[in-house]
Structure 1
Amino acid sequence: MKVLVADDDPGSLLVAQAAVERAGHDCLAAANGDEAWGLYLEHQPDVVVTDWMMPGMDGLALCRAIRSRGADLYTYIVMLTSQDSRDDVLAGIEAGADDYVTKPLDPFVLRARLLVALRITTLHADLAHYRKVLSQQARTDPLTGLHNRLKLAEDLEQLHARSVRYGEQYSLAMCDVDNFKAYNDVYGHQAGDLALRAVAAALRAQARKSDGVYRFGGEEFLLVFPHQSLLRAKACMERALDAVRDLAIPHRGDPSGQLRLSAGISTFSPAQGGEPEALLGAADAALYAAKAAGRNRVELAG
């Protein structure tokens, strides 16, 4: 662990530092609260062992400052104090401390507290990891591995706000596998799932790093093109349709004999305005126009 020790008493600071290092942990030392806060911001230690009374920022203020950060990883705080009243102990814990040790400091007691701190910080690190994994799973389509509609809503909200603020364009492309119901009827749903995975991989391979590729639902996908005009987005989607054609997936239920894609594109323009929901509707309408015009093509929203 990385342990920060803060104490304005040089003797007590040395004792604490030696106890931390003998326990096998990395130690940062600060002679006052202000220095401790600077080291905390720079190094993000796992544990802070802080004296109560210090020049500048005292131990209580340091506890409150650390807790106000709301970081993903938990910092375990041990308060050092020569005061032994119950009110002082409660005040420290209410300020954010997890434990306390009375002075003069007993190295054995501090080492025992560090063992507890290791367990607690490890537990919090595991929980933070699982939260991150669950958050990613909640925003990922399990079949294709693409982002899902929840992630789309979050990303589109941010992109729209940024585009409005800086006067930038962006485009949306709604696309759909042609005659996919017939594909499932002929080849079965398992083959349909494999086909959707292949289409998703082809779309992702064609997208730029800044583009977003999402499974919108069923056999529908949505592509987001930041900073792209309507015509440039059309060129991107035509390359994507070519990539799907290059998969050469047989489809007896389609007139072409192979799996194909249709797409409709809408664009946000700062001059014209509009909300993301309206853009999605316009892209969907353009997709239906592509279907009506014979499929296997890209149509632009009016």
Structure 2
Amino acid sequence: MINFPILVVDDNPIIKKMMNISLTKAGYEVSSAENGRDALRKFDKKFYPIVITDWMMPEMDGLELCRAIRNLSLDSYVFIILLTAKDAKDDIIKGLEAGADDYLTKPVNHPELMARLNTGIRILELERSLKKANNEIMILSITDYLTGCYNRGYIGENLSKEIRRAERYKHPLSLVICDIDHFKNVNDTCGHLAGDHVLYRFAGLINKSIRIHVDWLARYGGEEFMIVLPETDMKGAITLCEKLRSIIENSVFTYNETNIKITSSFGFTSFDLVESCNDKIVDEIINRADTYLYQAKQEGRNCVRGGPF
């Protein structure tokens, strides 16, 4: 089965049936509609990347359907072939200007139809590959290359959004900044590759312990990481930070048969409501969590310190 469903739109039941049989034999998944309005109703329920439509139809003709499809907010492109008995240059131009990508004159020649569909599929496959490449580039742009968690750029784009969401729905939010205690000693004693391995494992342990698609982790810089906890009050933040601190303390990081033990410090701040979100508020929230992290380090490391914003 070819992975590009086709919607055939024609008010002539004989032509429509013959088209369905021909396309199904060629390996396509085929649906049909009586006219343009019926086609749009079917689009509401399912996306069709290829539309083959007659020109002359009651209620909504092929040109109107082409324009309507082009005005839809769709995530992917629709390749439209217009069927017509009209072959004058002016008519062809009208069809293309309405949004059709190609046209076929009736009666439809099967080999020509298959050739036109193959052209459309090449265009649709190119679009898919470009979207995939763009998505991969987007993911790389917000991902820390070493740890696989989000990076500083993602923080800049999304932390303010989380704060605004908490403000809008009057939900609590907590922000945690943590880092690895005496991380320089790991690099100096075991080498930078071992240090990279520890950072990777450290981020992995945190990611496994936070809520998927709700909380998120980002590398803030060096051995410092930020954890954003939507819908989490101060009590919840303390519980999570203590859990993470214990997990890190009791884990063994093995690199090239060398066992490495580390501890970590956590600073957090929580709030139930902010009056308004702006760059100054975002910076103040980060600074508050960072101040509590500094306090944790001053009071012996391997501990959690925090408070309300």
Deviations 1:133-170 (A, max 9, x none): 22222222221111223333444343223212211111
Matched residue of 2:31: which SS? strand
Gaps of 5+ in 1: 251-256
- Provide the aligned length of Structure 1 versus Structure 2: 296
Name the residue aligned to 2:241.
237
Name the residue aligned to 2:9.
6
Stretch deviating more after TM superposition (274-283 or 199-208):
274-283
Name the residue aligned to 1:27.
30
Matched residue of 1:34: which SS? helix
Name the residue aligned to 1:254.
none
Contact 2:167–2:274 at 8 Å: present in 1 too?
no
Contact 1:285–1:301 at 8 Å: present in 2 too?
no
Stretch deviating more after TM superposition (65-74 or 261-270):
65-74
CA distance in 1 between counterparts of 2:153 and 2:190 reads: 30
Deviations 1:211-258 (A, max 9, x none): 2122222111111111111232022111101111011459xxxxxx94
Matched residue of 2:27: which SS? coil
Offset, 1:195:
0.7
CA distance in 1 between counterparts of 2:91 and 2:291 reads: 67
Name the residue aligned to 2:125.
122
CA distance in 2 between counterparts of 1:151 and 1:159 reads: 12
After TM superposition, the structure 1 = structure 2 runs for residues 207-286 of structure 1, keeping only pairs within 5 Å, are 207-209=210-212, 210-249=214-253, 258-270=261-273, 274=277, 275-286=281-292
Gaps of 5+ in 2: 255-259
Name the residue aligned to 2:257.
none
CA distance in 2 between counterparts of 1:232 and 1:258 reads: 27
CA distance in 2 between counterparts of 1:29 and 1:99 reads: 19
Matched residue of 1:36: which SS? helix
Offset, 1:290:
1.8
Stretch deviating more after TM superposition (288-297 or 225-234):
288-297
Deviations 1:161-198 (A, max 9, x none): 32122111110101111222232122211111011011
CA distance in 2 between counterparts of 1:24 and 1:271 reads: 58
Contact 1:175–1:220 at 8 Å: present in 2 too?
yes
Percent identity over the alignment is 36
Matched residue of 2:37: which SS? helix
CA distance in 2 between counterparts of 1:171 and 1:21 reads: 55
Offset, 1:271:
5.5
CA distance in 2 between counterparts of 1:217 and 1:91 reads: 58
Name the residue aligned to 1:137.
140
CA distance in 1 between counterparts of 2:163 and 2:58 reads: 48
Contact 1:16–1:107 at 8 Å: present in 2 too?
no
Name the residue aligned to 1:294.
300
Contact 2:201–2:253 at 8 Å: present in 1 too?
no
Does residue 52 (structure 1) correspond to residue 58 (structure 2)? The answer is no
CA distance in 1 between counterparts of 2:152 and 2:91 reads: 51
Deviations 1:14-41 (A, max 9, x none): 3322332232211111111111112223
Offset, 1:298:
1.5
What amino acid sits opposite 2:234 in the alignment? L
Stretch deviating more after TM superposition (92-101 or 155-164):
155-164
CA distance in 2 between counterparts of 1:140 and 1:64 reads: 40
- CA 1:168–1:53 in 2, change beyond 3 Å: closer, same or farther? same
Contact 2:245–2:265 at 8 Å: present in 1 too?
yes
TM-score with structure 2 length normalisation?
0.87
- State which of 197, 201, 204 in structure 1 corresponds to 2:204: 201
Contact 1:15–1:105 at 8 Å: present in 2 too?
no
- CA 1:270–1:20 in 2, change beyond 3 Å: closer, same or farther? same
